[in-house]
């Protein structure tokens, strides 16, 4: 069974258990794609503390099968609510970083260039905050953390830096907007999500486990001394 993550509360649920409602209509117009099928989907989060709903619309090419029209190839999808499917991260992640990340997601389809610019600013903010790197060009800041982080993660950051316009842009001013295609914008957002999870969420959870072990050891020691 596939899993579904609520974009509002971040809870995972089995997709088949979600309350869903869908509607569709067929358009037989003479488009370059041929006949079209428009579908709308509403899903309700099963988390009792959330109960938010999502709403998206899709348009696909169609074929007639068993007396009804079936979607064949997705042409476009619009996420109507929320207007961007960003991940929910804990509030101990710095607000400026989360704000830039969310805005990069929300603007991605409307303007990949603006989305990528926000993503690069978010990436620079994370490097400076998480690794206390002295402000410089982003490319130099990335080089400064080489050897301080897991090599595979650093290679992922550097790989994104070296792709097309993203790479050229990272060599210069992060505030300059240059052409970026949707795939590059999506890749940058994926990198941000990976790094927020690695540098903030997992680090925080690790620290909580360490604190719990330390507290337990101190409690056992105190009990032993009391005997």
CA distance 64 to 37: 11
Mean pLDDT of 1-24: 74
Rounded to 10 deg, the angle between the 182-196 and 112-131 helix axes is 20
Model pTM?
0.70
Share of the chain residues as helix, strand and coil, in percent rounded to the nearest 5:
45, 20, 30
Q: What is the DSSP string of 157-179?
A: HHHHHTSHHHHHHHTS-TT----
Confidence of residue 202 (pLDDT cuts 50, 70, 90): very high
pLDDT for 191: 94
The predicted structure's pLDDT at residue 178: 67
Least confident of 31-45, 136-150, 177-191, 192-206: 177-191
Angstrom CA distances, 46 to 10, 23, 27, 86, 218, stand at 12, 21, 33, 19, 41
Report pLDDT for 15. Answer: 65
Q: Quickly state the pLDDT bin for 17 (edges 50, 70, 90).
A: low
């Amino acid at each position: 069974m596939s899993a579904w993550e609520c974009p509002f509360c971040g809870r995972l649920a089995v997709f088949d258990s979600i309350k869903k409602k869908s509607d569709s209509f067929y358009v037989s117009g003479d488009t370059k794609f041929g006949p079209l099928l428009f579908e709308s989907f509403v899903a309700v989060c099963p988390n009792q503390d959330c109960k938010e709903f999502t709403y998206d619309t899709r348009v696909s090419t169609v074929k007639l099968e068993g007396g009804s029209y079936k979607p064949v190839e997705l042409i476009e999808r619009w996420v109507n609510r929320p207007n961007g499917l960003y991940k929910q991260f804990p509030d101990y992640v710095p607000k400026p970083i989360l704000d830039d990340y969310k805005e990069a997601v929300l603007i991605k389809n409307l303007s990949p260039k603006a989305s990528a610019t926000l993503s690069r600013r978010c990436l620079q903010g994370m490097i400076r905050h998480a690794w206390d790197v002295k402000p410089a060009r982003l490319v130099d800041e990335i080089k400064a953390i080489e050897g301080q982080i897991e090599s595979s993660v650093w290679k992922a950051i550097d790989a994104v830096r070296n792709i097309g316009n993203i790479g050229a842009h990272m060599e210069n001013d992060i505030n300059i907007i240059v052409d970026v295609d949707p795939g590059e914008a999506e890749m940058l957002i994926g990198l941000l999500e990976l790094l927020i999870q690695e540098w903030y969420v997992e680090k925080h959870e690790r620290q909580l486990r360490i604190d719990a072990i330390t507290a337990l050891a101190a409690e056992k020691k105190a009990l032993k001394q009391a005997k």
